[in-house]
Structure 1
């Protein structure tokens, strides 16, 4: 049995909670000494609420003040783009401010919110920047509501664990709890926290403080430098959440002999979250790959099984192979047949390892842009992060072996060469020398047969599949799970790539509306076709 744990608790103090960067701006004329200019305090947290800028008495800590020169009658105005896709237009050099230069931006001297500088003539925007609690709360149960713990502070994480989860696990019969389930999608986010500036300097090699206005949208030095600082901030946050929170929480849980289940973070016991979780599970050799099922809006929680089966099948085809159902879903008592179906699918799809031909590397770290790569029909692909790419080695060249020993035969790089770091370029060159097929330019062909890699399975439109390879003492076994995504009965022909042979296995199948089937092939020329029973209509 597992329990849903969320890192919020009344014992978490504002200083121990998730932090965010906040600021206020003041417009003024330079040319004279500033004496006693009281800058408004940014928003702050007090007694369970966020106070607006200018309010006093809440939890708030100053970091630095900046004076930014501008031209015109008003201060700089930054507006959100209406297009959700990432934009590639460079910031004009005329809008970029030099760093630490009198004519562009200077760091202010601030004492208790009072600026002490003398500024040159001109129009200036003064930024007072600091941090406060995000105010984000959560509760493991109705009586445990409190601020969420700072993900960058191992001490705060340990305090939360020792005062809340450890006593629960140490109670009589506490050993019935075998894992702790963390759901990061229900968290808020943070961009500041314990020792963030110090950690940034150690990890990235330069001081973040002079670049803090970048986090307020102010471009400094150059467009490329602005983007580099933004990416370095994101990378530091990612590393701190992984190391300071997840690894700390996992070590504490292991001392209590329980496992940790969470969304896609490397090196936990069970990653969880759709496609990204599937990719990370494959890369880091995690099995099973799980998700909370049927808890969304629009009736998913209590919808009919006929409506939910296509959704379940779709996730199985993506690579999910274990579902978690919440206890308060009303259909459970009458859903034995549906649960038996899911149990059978999980049984087969947790065997062996996945067969995925393509790894896709997104240098930006954002695989959800408009132009994200989609594999051709008959192939599966995983998303690869920088950590996995740099650890790719060649135990069995020319097929690269990742930390989880997942074979990938093609590497797709989804951004132009000009955006890649020197470290990534060197790794890609190493991969090419080892014989890895690397596609970093637009590819128009419908398949990769020209590289000797035929489609894994050929299916009609509106069908999908999952493929698991099981290596046994008697040889290999290929488990294919095929799903019909149309609301009508279909007679189809499926052809399968068997091992490394160019000879394909052809199978004719009859599938009901939204039906599914397992086709199991072995090198002994055996074939099993397992058709789950039809579900009753509502």
Structure 2
């Protein structure tokens, strides 16, 4: 038999005398048998002292205006490596603020000179044993000067014309108005457009269509310029719909590198775009492993307002829903169809979300996988009010990339997108939870002590991979503090604390390493509906760690979507389980309208197999078959199932996350305040012998005064201001 072992890692706890800790460094582990489990734990301990390169932070590596030299590339990478940064993400980007032209103008991204610089970076990365990635464009999002209008971003546009019948009409129809920046030829016509439909609608004052059969589709009577039609009696609204380019271009590209966004709804556009990048770098299926390029990154989906469209949208919609989209197009020109527009718009928005996820994220991931590379993507928003045009089911989008990435900002619009990303990683079995970290408008104001409280919150929400935003390339001739990106924390050799940066990088590395081990522990799987777009939280304003109504913060949870519930969840021994080992005690279906019949049927089957389900909507509860919980809070449901809180502190001033590594329970705990706090903490672990591991000093300590009562381990814990701990 083995003794259960609970590991506590605490930073900031040893700053004062703490009688509940023994400062004897633990070198001999308390197992009765010297076996594989001991060796696994010894490996965990060894890598805590010296985290592997894979756990060390990476950074957005800004090549401002594309202006770099081989010498500055080498110096940057050597400086990163010396300070404990293991991964650099090449980002060709504009120097937005460029007083007196201090920033030079470099070559066009992926032009011949740019390619030579990138190849040098890849070579130096291999020499130093560092991973090199690259943002998949200059600036963001995916696109470039090589993107032709035929495979660039598209939308649906329309024009109106009135006819009165009866008459024989032969005449031109007005061309729809397009955005000013949509690519046009010398005559002012779009370089690319495709006719979608010409519809005749009986006119009425309130713009309501009485029956869809009243709409006449005139595609056969229109040759692309002239409509020839025997007009029936009455007043008719003629609406011409076309698909053409939005004209949206890259956001803050370097000066020589602007270009169109690709068509995110066309999988061939994604493959063509990624293929162009790899081809320019000379990377083939045969030499990809030796190229030095580990991954490509797609940044947040920040689209212009438009009705998303692509060449094959009519057939895509039909394949999803089994009916023709053309009679429903008047919805986009201000008409109301019978029964209202909501049901059609729901289906259309779901189609756009699913198609974008497949075309851009799934296709991009699979394309790069052929080359042994990964797709990293900020695929999950944030949603409104930050970005109102990202059209996806965020959990599904994040679940369809290799490494999902969120972001957290310092003192800006309460942007903190981690919990959603962690849920996607957990429920799709991806392992890593990455984030664009420490983004800010504050210049040279925040040192590691200030940054730590933000990253510790992110760790408690599920972060386990840090990508610093940003490390800007700079050179000695630029002086101090040198060049920096306009919206990123300043971490490079120009920063005053750079020479002292290694301990902070080691801290991030130890935390990241431990938080990638084992599996996240959560009691609740919370279904967030079937609409698109969909985000968690739905309204992005998160000054504190996001939670669920009716759930005490002493429990934790994952957000799940329809795809996970239908295709990945099973029931074993009355627990809800996923293929990769995650499991939950309770499934919660909230009180909302967007719960489709197929979800209800699947949940009923899960209930029959022993799943515990809380139905929060009274109407759904009335028709749901099986033994359910309803009419109570999530807390009450867990209490009824005899599930105690996973972690509590008497004051409520501590936050946590819990992972299970074999038979070892590991908690990370943080002090949310700027004051010293001593508090009794309870952990849902039976007969544990806890230890304290300090990720700042790499110390390991036994904990005294431990109480084990009713399968709960309890002891006092002291944390420094914004101190943090693994338990």
- Asked if the contact 1:100–1:107 (Cα under 8 Å) also holds between the matched residues in 2, the reply is no
- Does residue 256 of structure 1 match 2:446? no
Q: State the partner residue of 2:216.
A: 106
Q: State the partner residue of 1:532.
A: none
Compared CA separation, residues 57 and 183, structure 1 to 2 (3 A): closer
> Partner of 1:272: helix, strand, or coil?
strand
The TM-score with structure 2 as length reference comes to 0.61
Compared CA separation, residues 443 and 124, structure 1 to 2 (3 A): farther
Q: State the partner residue of 1:92.
A: none
- Asked if the contact 2:169–2:231 (Cα under 8 Å) also holds between the matched residues in 1, the reply is no
Residue by residue, what CA displacement relative to the aligned partner does 1:34-66 show, whole Å, maximum 9, x if unpaired? 6245433123368x5467xx9635533221123
Q: State the partner residue of 1:363.
A: 529
CA distance in 1, matches of 2:564, 2:349: 17
Q: State the partner residue of 2:239.
A: 127
CA distance in 1, matches of 2:313, 2:445: 43
Aligned with residue 464 of structure 1, among 652, 655, 666: 655
Residue by residue, what CA displacement relative to the aligned partner does 1:387-432 show, whole Å, maximum 9, x if unpaired? 100024436231122243310111111234x643221111111121
Q: How far does residue 446 in structure 1 lie from its aligned partner after superposition?
A: 4.0
Higher relative contact order (CA 8 A, sep 6+): 2
Aligned with residue 312 of structure 1, among 455, 465, 469: 455
1:89-488 map, 5 Å: 97-101=210-214, 105-108=215-218, 109-117=221-229, 124-138=236-250, 143-168=256-281, 170=283, 175-186=291-302, 191-223=308-340, 226-264=341-379, 265-273=398-406, 274-297=418-441, 299=442, 303-325=446-468, 326-328=470-472, 329-333=489-493, 334=498, 335-365=501-531, 366-367=534-535, 368-369=537-538, 373-374=548-549, 375-394=551-570, 396-416=572-592, 419-441=594-616, 443-444=632-633, 446-447=635-636, 448-459=638-649, 460-471=651-662, 476-488=663-675
CA distance in 2, matches of 1:168, 1:18: 24
Q: State the partner residue of 2:86.
A: none
Residue by residue, what CA displacement relative to the aligned partner does 1:239-289 show, whole Å, maximum 9, x if unpaired? 322333323322332232222222353243211122221111000111221
Compared CA separation, residues 405 and 220, structure 1 to 2 (3 A): farther
- Asked if the contact 2:163–2:238 (Cα under 8 Å) also holds between the matched residues in 1, the reply is no
Deviates more, 1:13-22 or 1:433-442: 433-442
CA distance in 2, matches of 1:231, 1:301: 46
- Structure 2 unaligned residues grouped into runs of 5+: 1-131, 380-397, 407-417, 473-488, 541-546, 617-630, 688-708
Compared CA separation, residues 354 and 216, structure 1 to 2 (3 A): farther
- For these two proteins, the number of residue pairs brought into alignment is 485
> Partner of 1:467: helix, strand, or coil?
strand
Deviates more, 1:237-246 or 1:287-296: 237-246
- Asked if the contact 1:45–1:132 (Cα under 8 Å) also holds between the matched residues in 2, the reply is no
